[in-house]
Structure 1
């Protein structure tokens, strides 16, 4: 399935807990930090209890602060849209710009893993867009749907 090119016209802010990690650490269950990040987010009911939350019901996974490329360190924030960053939570602004959107539908987390595999596979080939490694994000469109937005150069 080919991704859809879309333009985000306005930036938005997501706030929630975050973790600094590395792709190599995430593929090893013994060193992976993201499963614990998400488990804590849901166990604490952060999606519903985050202060300054907008009316958007979407849950986001935002990837930011890239050290270099897909092999370097990055920060992942599990959160919701806010109109103002609440104290004690990491806030990240998703910038306006062009994104390739990869969609997945099915049981989680398998669907998420498969959709990310599509992302990595897409960028291995000769493609018309290059990843920007600025801010990427997952938008959870329900309990079994995800849209992964990858920032690309203009």
Structure 2
């Protein structure tokens, strides 16, 4: 399935953040993202982060890229909010063009497969440039994630 190109307006998200790299996430002993999501859901943070926008989905935001898919980056498990909170890490999702990839199935396997599709897509389409500014996952149901990848328009 080909991704869809959409324009996303700037928005704020708040939640918990870790700094990691893909190489570490491939190994169980150094992966931080599963623990991040575990803390997020165990603390019921989706329902307790102040200023959550009505009917906003849970999001996973990728930001502060050191370089590209091989460097370090931040991951924030959170929700879109109306304003920053001193109790949680805040991140501004940049306005711009995003390719949207959909993945369906049991989580987290569906999102992992979705990222595999993304890496394959960019390997096959070198003419499409990623921005490496902000990317985000939008969890739009128990078995649906939409992964937004910022691209140069």
Normalised by the length of structure 2, the TM-score is 0.97
Maintained 8 Å contact 1:56/1:81: no
How far apart, in 2, do the equivalents of 1:38 and 1:44 lie?
A: 10
* Residue in 1 that maps onto 2:71: 72
- Gapped regions of structure 1 (runs ≥ 5): none
Maintained 8 Å contact 1:66/1:134: yes
How far apart, in 2, do the equivalents of 1:128 and 1:95 lie?
A: 22
Maintained 8 Å contact 1:106/1:145: yes
How far apart, in 1, do the equivalents of 2:126 and 2:2 lie?
A: 11
How far apart, in 1, do the equivalents of 2:125 and 2:75 lie?
A: 28
* Residue in 1 that maps onto 2:6: 6
* Residue in 2 that maps onto 1:104: 103
- Match of 1:14, SS? strand
Aligned length: 153
Equivalence map 1:4-153=2 (5 Å): 4-8=4-8, 10-153=9-152
- Match of 1:116, SS? helix
- Gapped regions of structure 2 (runs ≥ 5): none
Runs of 4+ with >2 A deviation: none
* 1:52 positional shift: 1.3
